[in-house]
Amino acid sequence: MWNPRWVPPDASWAREKRPRDPGDPRNPMGRVKIFFRQPDYYIHGTHETDSLGQAESHGCIRMRNSDVIALAQRVMRNGGAARSPGWFQRVINRVRSTQDVRLSDPVLVQIRA
């Protein structure tokens, strides 16, 4: 999902949090959200790079936005949803518009610390 909206999870730490639309600077999802286990586990971007490597989210893996964009492009290419460079540029430039992409093939992603 490109330019995802953020909805606070049903967790005590998020009780006072409000949903954030795509492009909102307070949206903790960053530019891309890759689902790897429904409903609440993702790989997603963040603009708060100082928080990387620390427990800051609800079980998600956070990456720099530039890194998660590159990963999403690779996952799409290997999952049967390849797009042209122009498509990615348009999606990246439309920060307030969410673009959902479904893969036709599963993709194995290995996470190493």
- Asked whether residue 78 is domain-assigned, the answer is yes
pLDDT of residue 22: 94
Sequence-ordered list of residues with C-beta below 8 angstroms from that of 89, at least 6 positions apart, any chain? none
Q: Are strands 41-46 and 61-64 parallel, antiparallel or unpaired?
A: parallel
- Asked whether residue 16 is domain-assigned, the answer is yes
Q: For residue 79, which phi and psi values (nearest 5 degrees)?
A: -100, 15
User: How far apart are the C-alpha atoms of 14 and 94, rounded to whole Å?
Assistant: 27
Q: Contact, 68 vs 32, CB < 8 A?
A: yes
- Tokens encoding 7: 């909805």
pLDDT, tens digit, for every residue of 76-106? 999 999 999 999 999 999 999 999 999 999 8
pLDDT of residue 77: 96
pLDDT under 50: residue ranges of the chain: none
- Asked whether residue 32 is domain-assigned, the answer is yes
Q: Contact, 1 vs 32, CB < 8 A?
A: yes
Range of the domain at 72: 12-93
Sequence-ordered list of residues with C-beta below 8 angstroms from that of 112, at least 6 positions apart, any chain? none
pTM above 0.95, yes or no: no
Strands, E assignment, the chain: 33-37, 41-46, 61-64
pLDDT of residue 38: 62
Total domain count for the chain? 1
